[in-house]
Chain A
Amino acid sequence: MTDLTKDILHGFRDGFPIALGYFAVAFSLGIIAAKAGLTVPEGFLSSFFIRASAGEYGVYTLIAVNAAYVEVIAMCLVANLRYMLMSAALSQKIAPGTSWFHRLLMACCVTDEVFGISVAHPGYTPPAYTYSAALISTLFWASGCAAGITAGSLLSPDTVVALSMSLYGMFLAIIIPAARQRRNVLYTLAVSFVLSGLCAVAPVVGEWSSGMRTVVLTIVISAIAAWLSPINTDSDGTA
């Protein structure tokens, strides 16, 4: 077996469990997309090319309320800013001399989970490994969204509400383990929850769209956290 074949097979092997999780989460995302008025092809293609749970959730909810285009841009920037960090980290894991084509395509593969397994790859990460993991998980992700748009309307309203919890569950699964590991993340999350709850019911601020609230709260809280509790420059702040 050549190294290339091995990389591709390993990518599929590690990408498959991710793909299963993606299908379920994307299904509930598809229900939100259907509410926003997306057709099945629109849902499939948008999920295939965006590949961002929080980002797509933000985009679909903004479409649903006919928000301004600039709000979509701001939401995508903030909800996906972590991908900038991940790409920066991944850039250090690509073998010197790798072509620009591979660098850019690998960057486009970045999602929380594909990034996770890519940086965990021992030594330099072969592009083929990231590609095959991204391919299988993206196909399941896009199919899940399409299935959610198709079948979401067949489900009872209670089932739809229950399924919508999967997205929030996935968010929790990403943020809570970090809070357990690092005290400063724990405090930051607690403050985020409290301020977000207050802002949702407060006068004036409560009138803002949820996208706007997300953008403003993220910038303000992250800046304050960075100022009060900067991370050590020698430890990696990339994950």
Chain B
Amino acid sequence: MEQHNIVFYILLGILVTNLIRVLPMVLIKGTIKNRFVRSFLYYVPYVTLAVMTFPDMVMATPTPLPGIIALLAGIIAAWFRLGLFPVAVICCVIVYCLL
């Protein structure tokens, strides 16, 4: 397979990610009216992060069990709104202790 260039990958990432951020500022004069588009955009962030979390989190540990327990603990901690940093720490510590 052809070997790609790391710097080009990174430049693509920078370009696309920042274009996404800038585009609405350029395009949107008022607010988006279409209900389906608004709803679709509303769900996108949650679905993306969910499918990136599972099953990857469980597959990242040598055996699934520590990942499963960290996932459940993370969900509970996040449910009680412990915040970004504490939830991340809880997941790390649990897996560290179980390995």
Contacts of B3 in A (CB 8 A): 66
Q: Contact: B22 with A165, CB < 8 Å?
A: no
> Within B30-61, which residues are at the interface with A (CB < 8 Å)?
31-33, 35-36, 38-57, 59-61
Q: Contact: A214 with B54, CB < 8 Å?
A: no
- Per the bound structure, the CA–CA distance linking A158 and B79 in Å amounts to 27
Q: Contact: B41 with A42, CB < 8 Å?
A: no
Evaluate whether A76 and B17 lie within 8 angstroms (CB atoms) in the complex, with A91-B28, A108-B22, A230-B36 already known. yes
Interface of chain B, main secondary structure = helix
Contacts of A83 in B (CB 8 A): 17, 20-21
Interface of chain A, main secondary structure = helix
Task: Classify chain B's interface size.
Answer: 35 or more
Which of A51, A56, A57, A233 contacts B38 (CB under 8 A)? A233
- Per the bound structure, the CA–CA distance linking A197 and B8 in Å amounts to 32
Q: Contact: B18 with A178, CB < 8 Å?
A: no
Q: Contact: B10 with A59, CB < 8 Å?
A: yes
Contacts of A108 in B (CB 8 A): 18, 21-22
A151 at the interface (CB under 8 A from B): no
Binding site for A on B (CB under 8 A): 1-4, 6-10, 12-14, 16-18, 20-26, 28, 31-33, 35-36, 38-57, 59-62, 67, 70-71, 74-75, 77-79, 81-85, 87-96, 99
